[in-house]
Chain A
Amino acid sequence: MKRELPELIFNKSKDGKIGYSLNLEEFDDIEILIDKDKLRDDLKDFPQLSEVEIVRHYTALGDLNYSVDRGFYPLGSCTMKYNPKVNEKVASFEVFSTHPYSPFDLVQGNLEILKLTEELLSKITGLPAFTLTPAAGAHGEFTGMLVVRKYLEDRGDARKIVLIPDSAHGTNPASAHFAGYDVKEIPSNEDGIIDVKTLKENLNKDVAALMVTNPNTLGIFEKNIVEIAKVLHKNGSLLYMDGANLNALMGIARPGDFGVDVLHLNLHKTFSTPHGGGGPGSGPIGVADYLKNYLPVPRIERKRDKFEVSFYNEKSIGRVKNFYGNFLVIIKALAYILTLGKENLKRVSYDAVLNANYIRKKLEGLLNLEYKSKTLHEVVFSDKGLNVKTLDIAKRLLDYGFHPFTIYFPLIVHGAMMIEPTETESKETLDRFIDVMKIILEEAEKDEESVKNSPYSTPVRRLDEVLAARKPVVKWEKGVES
């Protein structure tokens, strides 16, 4: 993959080059109806390139990227499954690209897409009421915690604390904080899960909710979940579930049956929409029936075969996103769900969990496994006892054509290596990955420096992140040397 970075686009720019084609009518006698001192003088140094050069520039950039289309991403917690191409096709139908303020009768197809997606997500998760407006998982968490908060305030019981396990993803406490809560961390036990005793010890009348991921970030099913829900409800608290790991539960079990009150999903994880280099995602939330009036606006209603939109919901937390959410992302997720259908829902989780267990058993002898509980869709190893660090192994994987696993998360495992193969990887890929891991661990034994100084074959190597943070350069400037 040894390629050079192309010059910055600004350095390729030349006065007079044109990249677009658009004939605009002239307005010789039209007044500029705005004061001249409000107008811009010039767009100095802004790019000017021909279409040819633009295509070459971005093609060169694309060549520097690893992607799911290219290979395996064993990233735990991310569910980097294959992004189906037919989903891209249907999402690009121009007729779906309507104005969000269009009269509702002109966009019945779009409203049906939204409502149908809500209904199918309800069937999958067992939570009866959904909103598709949040733009990402963290946004969904924030929205969900606002629902919790409003419900409790409405009950005259505004509480201040949210409990979060020490294995939680960083967005959980961040989202709780932005919803106005103080966060209290509770420890996982030696099986890697929350036990009811620990929960009870930390529970009091000031606890609004527990935010739990299930299966958790160790890939372990929180088997006390039903009792946890009961204990919380008895205390007047709610159960929030981070649904990032739903890939282990599709067609297997429904969070609604666990006693979950509020759940978020990541359409860009379980539901196959592409990550696009960091987004857009989509983070719908589902709630138990008694919370449905708190959901944000707008709400889509199905009235026989017609669809209506309401900008009013009785006790709504308000609005969290412009318009309807990341609509084109939702189309892709719907296409995926309809492709899976009843016949394939369970197969997703069966193969995802099977693949994860295969990797676990193959690597268990070579790497330290902190928590020995049953593995579902992801497994977490530690770098304990190795003479190289997790980071070094990750970087060496790059030389073998693999994207590394998730590193240093969850925080409760030292030098965590979180591996989630998903169901869309072949056995050949998994076997190759396992072989490469063995090779790297052998290399570490024989010549640890060679692993510590890797990667060798990538376009750039071991970038200086300290320099980037101490003296941040976040844009190009003319005359300033790179």
Chain B
Amino acid sequence: MVDLKDYRFSEDHEWVKLDGDIATIGITDYAQKELGDVVFVELPSVGDSFAKGDNCANIESVKAVSDVYSPLSGEIVEVNEELDSAPELINQDPYEKGWIFKIKLDDKSELDSLKTYEEYEEYLKGL
């Protein structure tokens, strides 16, 4: 089981794990359950820049498409190419092997607006 203590969460059900000024981003277990079996992930390109809230990736299941919004501003430094051949990683292991992209942060203060794990759990209860 992954320790989600150090993760941060957005209201759009993305998670962030910080390592220096590189943030790894994926979608939460709640989000992958809502989507159902993931069949395809449209990844951003390395080098693309996004502002917080920009649509930077798309995740498709059989019956729906989910936009992924970047919870932070920055430049994409790495994308999880494993998802090209194994999109089901997002369902199987959303918090580790199912990571989607890594972003180099422009502005660390943006992290403050994200939720902690407890806050996210509370948020889910209210939905």
Contacts and interface: CB of A to CB of B under 8 A. Distances in A.
A in complex with B: yes
Interface of A: 408, 465-466, 469-470
A221 B61 CA distance: 34
Given A469-B60, A470-B88, 5 more contacts: A466-B39, A470-B37, A470-B39, A470-B40, A470-B87
Closest 4 CB pairs of A and B: A469-B39, A466-B37, A465-B62, A470-B39
A138 to B, nearest CB: 19
A408 B64 CA distance: 12
A470 B37 CA distance: 9
A257 B61 CA distance: 43
Contacts of B87: 470
Contacts, number: 15
Interface string B39-71: 110000000000000000000111100000000
B55 to A, nearest CB: 14
7 contacts: A408-B63, A465-B62, A466-B37, A466-B61, A470-B40, A470-B87, A470-B88
Contacts of B62: 465-466, 469
Contacts of B39: 466, 469-470
Interface range, B side: under 10
A470 B87 CA distance: 8
A75 B60 CA distance: 26
A408 B39 CA distance: 20
Contacts of A465: 62
Contacts of A469: 39-40, 60, 62
Contacts of A408: 63
A468 to B, nearest CB: 8
B65 to A, nearest CB: 12
Contacts of A470: 37, 39-40, 87-88
Contacts of B60: 469
Interface string B74-89: 0000000000000110
A470 B88 CA distance: 9
Nearest to A470: B39
A466 B61 CA distance: 8
Nearest to B88: A470
A466 B39 CA distance: 6
Nearest to B37: A466
Nearest to A465: B62
B82 to A, nearest CB: 14
Contacts of B61: 466
B80 to A, nearest CB: 16
B98 to A, nearest CB: 15
Nearest to B62: A465
Contacts of B88: 470
A465 B88 CA distance: 14
Nearest to B39: A469
B63 to A, nearest CB: 8
Contacts of A466: 37, 39, 61-62
B81 to A, nearest CB: 16
A465 B36 CA distance: 12
A465 B37 CA distance: 10
A465 B64 CA distance: 13
A465 B60 CA distance: 13
A130 to B, nearest CB: 36
A374 B39 CA distance: 41
Nearest to A469: B39
B42 to A, nearest CB: 13
A226 B61 CA distance: 41
B5 to A, nearest CB: 33
Interface in B6-60: 37, 39-40, 60
A417 B39 CA distance: 26
A368 to B, nearest CB: 21
A465 B63 CA distance: 9
